[in-house]
Structure 1
Amino acid sequence: MGPVDYVQVALTAPEVAPLLTGLRQEYDARYGHGAGESVLDVDAGEFESPTGAFVVLVDDGTTVAGGGIRRIDETVVEIKRMWTNPDYRRQGYAIRMLRELAGLARQLGYQTVRLETGHAQPEALALYRRLGFVEIGSYGPYENATAFELDLDAVTAKPRH
């Protein structure tokens, strides 16, 4: 595989379309027909500057991975729309994306990152736990979601390996 570059884009950018399609298909497969419609539950404007951002990793025109951050309040940001192209999984792209999004959150002045995932995504649950995210009570519209939080100050205090 060739080099992969981060690109900060609007949620409506062409590079994001494969990500949203992939998420819809994945949610439908894991949670049942219609579950993929949840990718439309947040207005695209919430992922834009100055309070949010959306980033994709692109490899020679192919969207490899992506994710966005959106403001919850003045100190807390939420990561949403995390996805990795199935052809690129198990290569560290999700970790790179999480680090990039956490870095953007810090630059925008946030102190805490939150996210939610579902029971049918054991790979995501394991990844977030391994990276130091702490399980918290559900805060969003999904009753059965598992919610996590990461203190960005604690992350920057840890040495990187």
Structure 2
Amino acid sequence: MRRIRHVTQDDPLAAPLLTELAIEYSLRYGRTAGEIRHELATYPAAEFAPPDGGLLIVIEDSEPVAGGAFRRYDTNTAELKRIWTAREHRRRGLGRLVLAELEAEIIRRGYSRIYLTTGPRQPEAVALYNAAGYTALGRVLEHEVGRLHPFEKYVPAGANPRPGSTAA
């Protein structure tokens, strides 16, 4: 059985995914997993909590298997962060599910634009965002991990969140 849980950054359900995210980023970008985990933990938890943000976890058979978050970027824009699928659960559409659930929540919160950046060593993320209708912005942003690729997507006027969400 699959469920979607809206949680806080310090919820135990988020810990395994954030830990694995740190390991994955360390392998791709050369910093230690501890450094990256520490960096992830330095974001104020309030940024990923209502009313301006959110964090959700996909649970299957009581196990967290995917997740993602968003926070306020500006008055009209939400910024996607930390979209992740556990290694053993990849290639099953969970990234698309997380993205769709986050977008629905962003629409419910009244944002009209979604912004994100992804790193140069994450081609599967670029493919996900392209397939979901995001537009690559023509500029790149310099970051310690390399050149970040920014994307955006505008929420259609009058959009309604998709019905049948299984949020808990």
* TM superposition score category, shorter chain reference: 0.7 to 0.9
Corresponding residue to 1:144 among 144, 147, 159: 147
Instruction: Look up the equivalent residue of 1:111 and give its one-letter code.
Output: S
Helix, strand or coil: the match of 1:125?
Answer: helix
State the partner residue of 1:36: 36
Task: Give the Cα–Cα distance (whole angstroms) in 1 for the partners of residues 136 and 123 of structure 2.
Answer: 14
Residue matched to 1:132: 133
Structure 1 residue ranges (4+ consecutive) displaced by more than 3 angstroms after TM superposition: 137-143
- Retained in 1: the 8 A contact 2:118–2:125? yes
Q: Deviations over 1:86-124 (max 9, x none)?
A: 111000000010000000000000011111111111111
**In angstroms, what is the RMSD of aligned CA positions?**
2.0
8 Å CA contact retained: 1:5, 1:57: yes
Unaligned stretches of 5+ in structure 1? none
* Structure 2 residue 73 is the aligned partner of structure 1 residue 75: no
Structure 1 residue 149: Cα displacement: 0.5
The alignment partner of 2:147 has SS state of: coil
Deviations 1:4-37 (A, max 9, x none): 1000000110000001101100000001023624
- Deviations 1:61-82, CA, capped at 9 Å, x for gaps: 2111000110011110001011
Equivalent residues of 2:141, 2:149 under 8 A apart: no
* Residue in structure 2 matched with residue 14 of structure 1 by the alignment: 12
- Paired with 2:136 and 2:120, the residues of 1 have a C-alpha distance of 13
CA distance, structure 2, for counterparts of residue 23 and residue 140 of structure 1 = 21
Contact 2:141 2:147 survives alignment (8 Å): no
**Equivalent residue, structure 2, for 1:118:** 119
**Higher RCO (CA < 8 A, seq sep 6+):** 2
User: Is the CA contact 1:15–1:63 (under 8 Å) kept in the aligned structure 2?
Assistant: yes
* Number of residue equivalences: 154
TM-score normalised by structure 1 residue count: 0.88
**Which deviates further from its counterpart, 6-15 or 36-45?**
36-45
CA contact (8 A) 2:140 2:148 kept: yes
Among all aligned residue pairs of Structure 1 and Structure 2, give the percentage whose two residues are the same amino acid: 34
Structure 2 distance, partners of 1:115, 1:40, is 19
SS in 1 for 2:14: helix
Q: 2:131 is matched by which residue type in structure 1?
A: R
Contact 1:8 1:54 (C-alpha < 8 Å) held by counterparts:
yes
Distance 1:118 1:41 in 2: 19
